[in-house]
Structure 1
Amino acid sequence: MLFTRALGFRASLISLAGLVTGIVLSASATGAEPGSLPAIDAEQWALQKEVDNIRIYTMDQPGSGFQAFKAVAELDASVENLMAVMINPESCKEWVLNCSESYAFGQGDFHDRYAYSVNDMPWPVTDRDYVLRIRTRGDAGTGQIIMDLNATPGMRAEYSSRVRVDVSNTLYQFTPRGEETQMVWVQHTEPNGSLPGWLVNNLLVDIPVKSMQALEAVARSEKYQGYRLEWAEDGNLQGVVPDNR
């Protein structure tokens, strides 16, 4: 990673917090509908860090020892390229910090599908895994695309070698700005296991920065060029397809 052996201890702590942002997830163990996260424009968001084109905010959550975070970035990548990354069920490994495994499973389509992912944790901490329901919608009028990723742990059997994260809420909002894209990432997660809230809260500010920087680079790579958004007559987003025109 980005850390030397001399910084090994801090690297381990960062990895511990990484589960909070591993391809992150939204809703609850019961598969709650999107909307349980703090509003993007809520006044309670407190700015914690600003790095180049990325701003990180946090907010305390009632009844929880873990804060929610909001990351806002102006990414130098088109919304088409970013969505090409998002529809690849294995792309978690390319941009989400500490994501070591990811794939699609079950029946689904562009608008409503399932994915499984693993967050690699440093020994002796047990790896975390996620079962996600991913819902995507878009509006041709504004060009804005929203993804809700919902933790649905009961959709797959658990592994004895991994700890299942069963409560987590995430929203991605993509708004085109010409050839660039504003991305807003809001998340609140209740990780299982003995992880103190103060540790995760202190480190989660840095995790979305590294992931969004990686996402920008990945979306600009040759692999994700040549895609377009496909819109229905009613203005709803239908999918992301190769641009063969």
Structure 2
Amino acid sequence: MRKTRAHGIAGWASVISGLVCAFLVSALAAATARAELPPESDEGWTLRKETDHIRIYTIEQPGSSFKAFKAVGVLDAPIENLMAVMASPGSCVEWVHNCIESYAFGNGGFHDRYAYSVNDMPWPVTDRDYVLRIRTRGDRSSGEVVMDLNATPNQRAESSSRVRVDRSDTLYRFTPEGDKTRMLWVQHTDPNGSLPGWLVNSLVVDIPLQSMEELERVANLEKYQGYQLIYGEGGELAGLSRSNP
């Protein structure tokens, strides 16, 4: 039977609709893939720099011209001190290399919150700013605490004097080792815009190395001592409190 023109239009509409849906699904899958950090144990990690207790690795990241980095070290500070630093909204300026502004916003809490921060860039490169969702989890049995930080650029209006970073994913893993703490830091950031090669190299090597060394120092300041991790009845990490203010 010959199809009418109406049937033909409906058929094409169905095909186009299917193609659009397929495109959206593919785009969503691609975006999800870009957001995934490389596995900690991936054989592609290349050692770039090493000190007496910190090692920095890099790896190619699919879909980006910027490499991801992995920093591993045992810091001479208890995990409670380190978590006190990490939970402080403005602590970024104390330990993250080139961080010049940082604060929390919104109604989040210990487990799920938002933060805004600014990274100073050498002239004539424009400063970068971040809007991050920060999620924290842990359990009593292992003593390990894990933090995920992901860019959520649309949560705050952009500034005309800064470039908004819209792709950034970070994993912090803290594991107690007696009075010390093993820290794993995996991150991939696409800072947007055109950046010189020497600056890109410093971003993925110097920033984590200098930041972890500074975090070790800051965590031992008196204001970050005397804290304890609080666990729920099921052993899940519930929060952080100061035991002897």
Query: What is the TM-score when the length of structure 1 is the normalising length?
Result: 0.84
Which position in structure 1 is the counterpart of 2:103? 103
Aligned ranges for residues 34-113 of structure 1 at < 5 Å?
36-113=36-113
**How many Å apart are 1:46 and its aligned residue?**
1.3
Higher helix share: 2
Question: Contact 2:34–2:63 (CA<8 Å) still a contact in 1?
Answer: no
User: CA–CA distance in 2 between the matches of 1:38 and 1:61?
Assistant: 8
Corresponding residue SS for 2:175? strand
Which position in structure 2 is the counterpart of 1:215? 215
User: CA–CA distance in 2 between the matches of 1:124 and 1:198?
Assistant: 14
Asked if 1:192 corresponds to 2:192, the answer is yes
User: CA–CA distance in 2 between the matches of 1:200 and 1:229?
Assistant: 37
Q: Percent identity?
A: 67
Q: Name which of structure 1's ranges 62-71 and 78-87 shifts more when overlaid on structure 2.
A: 62-71
Which position in structure 1 is the counterpart of 2:154? 154
User: CA–CA distance in 1 between the matches of 2:123 and 2:57?
Assistant: 30
Bigger radius of gyration: 2
User: CA–CA distance in 1 between the matches of 2:87 and 2:50?
Assistant: 28
Corresponding residue SS for 2:207? helix
Corresponding residue SS for 1:101? strand
Asked if 1:167 corresponds to 2:167, the answer is yes
Change (3 A) 1:119 1:216: same
In structure 2, give the amino acid aligned to 1:132.
L
**How many Å apart are 1:201 and its aligned residue?**
3.2
Question: Contact 1:31–1:151 (CA<8 Å) still a contact in 2?
Answer: no
Q: Considering only aligned residues, what root-mean-square deviation do their CA atoms show, in Å? A: 2.2
Change (3 A) 1:198 1:100: closer
Question: Contact 2:58–2:204 (CA<8 Å) still a contact in 1?
Answer: no
User: CA–CA distance in 2 between the matches of 1:85 and 1:34?
Assistant: 29
Runs of 4+ aligned residues of structure 1 deviating over 4 Å after TM superposition are: 30-35, 196-199
**How many Å apart are 1:199 and its aligned residue?**
4.3
Pick 1 or 2: higher relative contact order, CA cutoff 8 A, min separation 6: 1
Change (3 A) 1:34 1:215: farther
Question: Contact 1:66–1:197 (CA<8 Å) still a contact in 2?
Answer: no
Which position in structure 2 is the counterpart of 1:237? 237
User: Which ranges in structure 2 are unaligned for 5 or more consecutive residues?
Assistant: 1-27
Question: Contact 2:125–2:195 (CA<8 Å) still a contact in 1?
Answer: no
Query: What is the TM-score when the length of structure 2 is the normalising length?
Result: 0.84
